[in-house]
Structure 1
Amino acid sequence: MSGSFILPEEQSAVEAIDAIRDEFDLFDDWTQRYRYLIELGNNLPAFPVEWQNDKFRVVGCQSQVWLNYSREGNKYYFAGSSDAVIVKGLIALLLRIYSGRTAEEILKIDPEFVKDLGLAGALSANRSNGVMSMVKAIQHIASR
């Protein structure tokens, strides 16, 4: 497997969402959370240039967003990137939640976590829609 794909931490998706919530709670406001998201995006593994094309593009995002996956056994591993720094951080969060899971696990994750984390209210409508487009793309991959 290429080094671009995100390997999960030793935690369930629910535990990953709870950990992200706890991390967000460390910050006093969304300006600090945005900085944190930018840092997360900057720490993503390099996304190969040859994947930055329409074949891997996520439709429905205002920014350019690319998503690729690898399947090993019954688990899916994802890689992603964007031309927008905050969106890249949002990708990092989604990959942390979804990568390394089975199709059943991926499809059971309730996308309401986007609202529960406060992301939906803190992001522009276009960015919120883009996050949901990324979630739908991941779910579509898992549902094949």
Structure 2
Amino acid sequence: MTDPFVQPAEPTAADAIAAITDELELFDDWMDRYEFIIEMGRKLPAFPDIWADDAHRVPGCQSRVWMEATLRDGKIFFAGVSDAAIVSGLIALLLRVYSGRTPAEITATDPVFLKELGLLEALSTNRGNGIAAMARKVREVAAHLSASA
């Protein structure tokens, strides 16, 4: 089985946000950006079916979203998936920023970048609330794992 957890492409969360910003700026309109985000979701590592249950479900999302996290060598790695293509893309975007980071870096990285990228305004209210719920979940996991470490 391949590792279901997202490995960081950039050395820091700030670098990931900068790279995503640059990539999204290549597109002139939101339809092209959506396609890019959906494509990011298609590239997520396979999420084990056994985790697609209520225990892994992220509350507050219009679509069904499941996430799992593991602590390895002081860094938290996340896996995630949704039953909606655009939401899987948003998960990929979030996990590119947060997965493979230390709990301190995760809690220090405010998800305000989602608003700065224009994502929250471009999405429906329900989708915007859902990505905010996913970002909250990531930060809650980091706080919990750093407290128990």
TM range (shorter): over 0.9
The amino acid across from 1:126 in the alignment is N
Segments of structure 2 that go 5 or more residues without pairing to the other structure are: 145-149
Paired residue type of 1:120:
L
Letter in 2 for 1:132: A
Amino acid at match of 2:68: N
Structure 1 vs Structure 2 CA RMSD: 1.1
Helix, strand or coil at the partner of 2:69: strand
Q: Which residue of structure 2 lines up, in the alignment, with residue 62 of structure 1?
A: 62
Which residue of structure 2 lines up, in the alignment, with residue 25 of structure 1?
25
**2: CA distance, partners of 1:110 / 1:43:** 25
TM-score normalised to structure 1 length:
0.97
Q: Work out the CA distance in 2 between the residues paired with 1:83 and 1:2.
A: 20
Deviations 1:42-64 (A, max 9, x none): 11111111000001000000000
1:83 paired with 2:83, answer yes
Q: TM-score, normalised by structure 2?
A: 0.94
| Partner amino acid, structure 2, of 1:4 | P
The CA distance in 1 between the partners of 2:111 and 2:42, in whole Å, is 24
Which sections of structure 1, spanning at least 5 residues, go unmatched? none
Shift of 1:70: 1.1
Asked if the contact 2:38–2:88 (Cα under 8 Å) also holds between the matched residues in 1, the reply is: yes
Which structure shows the bigger proportion of residues in helix conformation? 2
- Following superposition, which runs of at least 4 residues in structure 1 exceed 2 angstroms of deviation? none
Is 1:143 aligned to 2:140, yes or no? no
